[in-house]
Amino acid sequence: MIPVEILVIGGGPAGLCAAVQAAEMGSKVLIVDRNNTLGGQLVKQTHMFFGSEKQYASTRGFDIANILLDKIDKMKNVEIMRKATVLAIYEDGVVSLEHKDKYIKIKPKAIVVATGASEKNLAFPNNDLPGIYGAGAVQTLMNEYGVKPGNRVLMIGAGNIGLIVSYQLIQAGVRVEAIVEAAPTIGGYLVHASKVRRMGVPILTGYSIKEAYGTDSLESAAIWKLDENWRGIPGTEKKLNVDVICISVGLSPLSELLWQAGCQMKYIHELGGFVPVRDTNLHSSVKGLFVAGDVAGVEEASSAMVEGYIAGMSAAAYLGYKLYNMKLVKEDLMNQLDSLRHGPVGEKIRRGISNLTIEHEAAASVDAL
Amino acid sequence: MKESIIICRCSDLTQQDIRDLINEGYTTFDEIKRISRVGMGPCQGRTCLPLVLKEISIAIGIPMSDLSPGTFRPPVKSIKLEALTEEAIEGGESYLE
């Protein structure tokens, strides 16, 4: 059994920031990530971020990952285990993982779970034809591996991921035939929507996919208009010649480790599914287990980073580490989250989170110091 | 023509397969899992679970928030038996030191 002070599961934006903050307060941190390259989904984000300077606005996603990794590189009390997948968190706090074909057990004093989220799938006829991908998967193929997914794309979903990946497909020389969105309005930022519209891509709201066609792989697709009960209206079908369909209908938190650990979970639609209840320090209902990023509720990389700092600080404080101005730092981080969660989408997220908040005894938490 | 709306890619289960099981009275994710192997493949439910819960929710009229996603047993991904036996014999090596 390997003793570890703070175990951070997942080296994406939330996990990296949690490690930075916890290590800055003097604790020893181990980050485990299943990939060889850390940074999570940041590594394929070629666009510049919004938010404020504190979340590296106007910096491209992959550059943000490098900034955080450089910082961690200089810290002597952070260790990184790459290509390591956590397999379980047991009730007694033991964590098992697979690394280089070995089965390893770890006993951390505190855990930050920052496992992120996975892409949701959609049920429609022939949805298993080759050529039908998650939008994030296509982004990985293009931006990380330099593989062009096809030539003509139908994008399903006009949230930020659908819009940004559409733009990046066009940049890569791929034609985007249409973006369909089942909801009556575009979910993503208008800046992104206007950009792809200016490039001639129609965004059809109130539309969804009816069926995909093809023998060995995708050859075409039919879309149709939806009525107010989200059912397709016969006679409104349009056929599109596409060899790629990207599904971008939301993310689902990767929360199985939290269930295993015994965290109290709640289904919050606005946050992507089942998410852990927590206090404002991101302490879950299980003592010593903290959460940050998409696993705690699907949002964006910017808020994941801020949550990471909060969870890292809380985990270190839980073990007795201090910062002279901890209360001020926490206040500033909470304010950053508030300003990231403005507008109609942010309002929904705030409402979702307010249904999740619990109070812990103040002992050994940020608030007590 | 065979129905082609795939819900579970790992065990090749269609929407109709899931609907038939719900009609037969299997109305929780765990029950459907035990009878059909849905959620027991490499994805461990990460792809199919939300889709199956949605089917259950519509069929029996209970909101998603009141449905149970079932039990998440370790390990969350497949691991070679060799690794487990090695660990058992060696009693857990001191890995980081």
- The encoded tokens of residue A247 equal 């599904």
pLDDT tens, residue by residue, B43-60: 999 999 999 999 999 999
Closest CA to A33 of A13, A50, A52, A47: A13
Say what the pLDDT of residue A361 is: 62
The dotted CATH code for B6-71 is 1.10.10.1100
Q: Do A267 and B94 touch (CB under 8 A)?
A: no
- C-alpha–C-alpha distance, residues A213 and A223, integer Å: 12
Least confidently predicted of A47-61, A122-136, A181-195, A253-267: A47-61
Query: Who has greater pLDDT, A141 or A47?
Result: A141
> According to the model, what pLDDT value does residue A50 have?
78
The backbone torsions φ and ψ at residue A165, rounded to the nearest 5 degrees and listed phi first, read -65, -35
Angle among Cα B63, B47, A61 to the nearest 5 degrees reads 105
* A51 pLDDT higher than 90: no
According to DSSP, the β-strands at A238-240 and A95-99 are unpaired
B72, B73, B79 member nearest A103 (Cβ) = B79
Residue B68's SS3 state is coil
pLDDT of residue B90: 75
Tell me which of A61-70, A76-85, A283-292, A352-361 is least confident: A352-361
What is the predicted pLDDT for the residue at A1? 67
pLDDT at residue A279 tops 60: yes
Residues 20-59 (B) with a CB less than 8 A from some CB of A: 44-51
Q: Which helix (H) or strand (E) holds A88?
A: strand A84-89
Q: A310-323, pLDDT tens digit by residue?
A: 999 999 999 999 99
Contacts of A85 in chain B (CB under 8 A): 76-77
**Which is it for strands A84-89 and A95-99: parallel, antiparallel or unpaired?**
antiparallel
Q: Determine whether the interchain pair B86/A103 forms a contact, defined as Cβ–Cβ distance below 8 Å.
A: yes
Contacts of A267 in chain B (CB under 8 A): 64-67
Residues 106-145 of A with CB under 8 A from B: 118, 120-121, 123-128
What's the gap between Cα B95 and its chain centre?
A: 32
Using a CB-CB cut-off of 8 Å, the residues of chain A touching B15 are 123
Query: For strand A2-9 and strand A102-113, is the pairing parallel, antiparallel, or unpaired?
Result: parallel
Complex prediction ipTM: 0.91
The Cα–Cα gap between A180 and A162 comes to 9
Q: What is the pTM of this model?
A: 0.94
Burial A206-230 (b: 16+ CB within 10 A, else e): bbbbbbbebeeebeebbbbbbeeee
- pLDDT of res. A345: 79
Rounded Cα distance between A149 and A172, Å, is: 10
Domains (range + CATH), chain A: 2-118+251-368 (3.50.50.60), 121-247 (3.50.50.60)
- Using the predicted structure, report yes or no on whether residue B97 has a pLDDT greater than 80: no
The reported pLDDT for the residue numbered B96 is: 46
